[in-house]
Structure 1
Amino acid sequence: MKHVASAASAACLFAGIAQAGGLERARPAEAILFEQGNYVQFSFSQTDADVSGDYPAFVGGGSTGDMSDATRHIGFGLKMAINDRLDFALLMSQPYAADAAYGQGFYEGLTARWNSTAVDAIVKYNMSDRLSVYGGASLLTSSADITIPVALGNIASDPDGPALLGGGPLPGSIVSDYSASSSKETDLGFILGTAYEIPDFAMRVALTYRSEIEHEFDARETYTQLSLPGGVPTFSPVSTTTDTPVIMPQSVTLDFQSGVAPKTLVFGSVKWTEWSKWQVKPGAYESETGGEITSFDNDTFTYQLGVGRQLSDQFSVFARAGYESKKGGESSRLSPTDGYTSIGVGGSYTMGKAKITAGVEHAWLGDAESGTPTDFSDNTATGFGISVGFAF
């Protein structure tokens, strides 16, 4: 049962394949805290989403083309048993990402990138063989850049027309492509959790809280401004650096697993993430448009449920289903899907002190409507992940 429990824990590698709520693409592997003894793990995953939409007739119709590039993520985990009571884990992950690029139609030229790296240091104290508590610090580094084509600004300047990326009406003063590039910022959050286990049944329930982390970006904004001094049109290039605070959301995750029959395990998770507080609102853009570049209106709930089966002393397999409910409302052009349903399968092979786990997952992404309005429907994502772990 030990090997199938490890394979089930490794299923968190594939959390990003379905493009979980907001910008979340990969989850830190906190389950390494429950490995026996000392353990080190390296992981890699890739997601290839096919996301496109159909423009309305009044902006020319046609398709947006595939606007979502493939994303890749690497991860690292080290767990050390300090003594019988105390464990320490060091984790590296790339939890948030966006890679949007529109290549045709009305949105052509709209691009956005979000990059992040998190390093977590966590200490777990085993109060008994069943109850443990853990906590630590999470150091998050993020950066972003975006380009908004002038065509979007022109249509948004009509107060009765669609809004730009969820922002307010544009008064018409931005008359060239707008671009913003952020500084790279590193800020600190914290992690708290507790777990209850019954080892004889491979049963564990763990509750983990991650705090929000606020970045104070310096955003370099560039565009051309139209003004009318004395009624004479004047075009002025603008390049300015403004303060742009962005809150990366807090979350609560409930993970569970339990043996239900010899060599068979059921596992899953429920996660709440407060994406409703996330928005990107550079200072110059806000003063020109009265709104933010992009935001998410609602929090997300993500559910996973799976089953694992030990086939031999070396080989275990698992299957998993995922679901995220639709939030409704207008979707961001940077992430124009709403909820998902997914199915994934994988396996784990143990060779002495080494363990290789791999899996694939396919997701059906929920339909959404962005601000033009442009309808995004029948979109999917497929991904795979692999991890290699060593006990020492």
Structure 2
Amino acid sequence: MRATFHLKTLTVAIATLSIASITNAAGLDRSGQDVTAFLQDGTYAEAVYTYIDADVSGYDSSNNDPLNNRYERGNKTGDIAESYDFFRYGVKTDINDTFSIGVLYDEPFGAAAEYKGDNNFVANTNPADSAGEFANDPAPNDPISGGTTAALKPAIIGAENSTAGENTKVEVRSENLTAILGMKLGADKNFQIYGGPVAQRVKSDVKLRGLAYGPATSYTSHISPDQDYGWLAGISYSKPEIALKAALTYRSEIDHSMNIYESYPLAPTLSGGALPSTQVTNMEITTPKSVNLDFQTGINPTMLATAKVRWVPWSDFSITPPLYNAASKNPVSRPDGLNLVDYEDDQWQVELGLAKRIAPALAVSGTVGWDSGAGDVTTSLGPIDGYYSVGLGAKYNVTPEWAVSAGGKYLWFGDAKGQLPTGKIVGDFQDNDGYILGVKLSYQGE
């Protein structure tokens, strides 16, 4: 006789796997843009809090010559990763046996990093003593300014003095609000198509300090919060007899046109007086599209297997502040200038899990995960090349409808070299790790 694993008997195990899953990934990816709250049966609501604490440390380069890309191990950077937290909310209900509606909130993209201590990512209080040997012989045209390294040295030291003691720091925050309408199809309502609009809000602050950034030292930018819109679409299939659910979800790119304040003390020097040292202007950013695959199936009446796969084309993403870009242009070697941030590769992320109901109101789960990263070398503002992870979770049903879940994940980060947009390697980051903790309150009714 064929075993049946009714979905309701496994509901206590389902949500344990998404507490701290698909989080802290390549590029600026953070939440994983999970939509599984909408895929639950009946009326469902959840509130999730996630806390990330990573240890990302390495060494700067003692080579401060902007014309020489050779990496020479220098001082320790200390831990540059700032602790980071965010919330996720979701609510969903069935209008009838065909139509469902839901609203999801998450914080999909972000970054939080700061360099401290005695290294070349901190504006030195006496830069003339730590600037190292700039080229003393007549140099070819500098790839940034068209001048020589020797001519830039006083200007770089002057910019260092103007921000003495300040740290390189980056903070990026985003928010998504997604409305979803789903329609079930087929005689048994096994298939569902769903979609809806997405409102996205983004803001950021960047400070580049220290001799590692050469002429870009003391650069500052502030992006005011900007809201723009995209969309989501997906298809799902369910077979309740074996607790099977599968969903494929596509999220569109979202184009932002935002105000940006920039301060670039050396811009007038680099441009021969053609550029200002500060300006407020408009910048275009396109946050990336993504595809998520969510799958689960019952193994036996008390055990559930899950798989999550996510793809994000970070190689298409860049941040190109106008003043930063204009100051980096060279009519011969770099007519289009530089991006402040870009990535070499697309991100692939995979997570596999098992959940086991060990008591009528208690379930536990475990996961293993892999993230490809977005390429090595990578930006000095986020020097991680993917990770491997293991996670544990538990869920306890306080009542048949209300449950509390908690989970944690440990991550081994891939080694990465921090690179400037000019191609110069300015840091080497190895043997780093981190952990993620999450708590969820959920409600599931008929």
Change (3 A) 1:192 1:227: closer
Relative to structure 1, the CA distance from residue 358 to residue 2 in structure 2 (aligned partners, 3 Å threshold; closer, same or farther) is: farther
Deviations 1:114-134 (A, max 9, x none): 011110100111113311111
Q: 2:324 aligns with which of 250, 267, 285?
A: 285
Partner of 2:386: 339
Deviations 1:44-67 (A, max 9, x none): 010100001112343571211111
SS in 2 for 1:122: strand
1:222 to 263, 279, 284: 263
Hey, which of these two has a bigger chunk of strand by percent?
A: 1
Quote the sequence identity (%): 27
State the match for 2:347 in structure 1.
Answer: 300
User: Unaligned 5+ residue runs, structure 1?
Assistant: 155-171
Counterparts in 2 of 1:220 and 1:327: CA distance versus 1, 3 Å = closer
Q: Name structure 2 gaps, 5 residues minimum.
A: 1-6, 65-72, 123-166, 329-336, 420-424
Q: Offset at 1:3? A: 5.7
Identify which of 180, 202, 210 aligns with 1:142: 202
Question: Please, which of 357, 362, 382 is the counterpart of residue 435 of structure 2?
Answer: 382
* C-alpha distance in 1 between matches for 2:433 and 2:9: 32
2:310 to 248, 253, 271: 271
Do structure 1's residue 111 and structure 2's residue 133 form an aligned pair? Answer: no
Deviations 1:99-141 (A, max 9, x none): 1111130112211110111101001111133111111111110
Q: Give me the whole-angstrom Cα distance separating, in 2, the residues matched to 1:201 and 1:287.
A: 59
What's the counterpart of residue 363 of structure 2?
Answer: 316
Corresponding residue for 1:212? 253
Q: Separation in 1 of the partners of 2:322 and 2:28?
A: 22
1:249 aligned onto 2:288: yes
Of 234, 238, 242 in structure 2, the residue corresponding to residue 201 of structure 1 is 242
The 8 Å contact of residues 27 and 93 in structure 1, kept in 2 or not, is answered as no
1:41 is paired with a residue whose SS is: strand
Alignment map for 1:40-51 (pairs within 5 Å): 40-51=45-56
Distance 1:34 1:41, change over 3 A: same
Deviations 1:287-306 (A, max 9, x none): 10120111112110000000
Q: For 1:12 and 1:351, locate their aligned partners in 2 and report how far apart those are by CA, in whole Å.
A: 19
**TM-score (ref. length: structure 1):** 0.89
Larger Rg: 2
Separation in structure 2 between the aligned mates of residue 178 and residue 125 of structure 1, nearest angstrom: 50
| Equivalent position of 1:76 in the other structure | 89
1:262 aligns with 2:267: no
For residues 335-362 of structure 1, what are the alpha-carbon distances to aligned partners after superposition, in whole Å with 9 as ceiling and x for unaligned?
1010100000001111221011110100
What's 2:42 paired with? 37
RMSD of aligned Cα (Å): 2.2
Q: How many Å apart are 1:326 and its aligned residue?
A: 4.9
Residue 37 of structure 1: CA displacement? 1.9
Q: Distance in 1 between matches of 2:32 and 2:362?
A: 25
CA shift digits 1:238-295 (9 cap, x unpaired): 2211221111110111111111123111101111111111111111110101201111
Secondary structure (helix, strand or coil) at the match of 2:259 reads strand
8 A Cα contact 2:387 2:411, kept in partner: yes
Counterpart for residue 238 of structure 1: 277
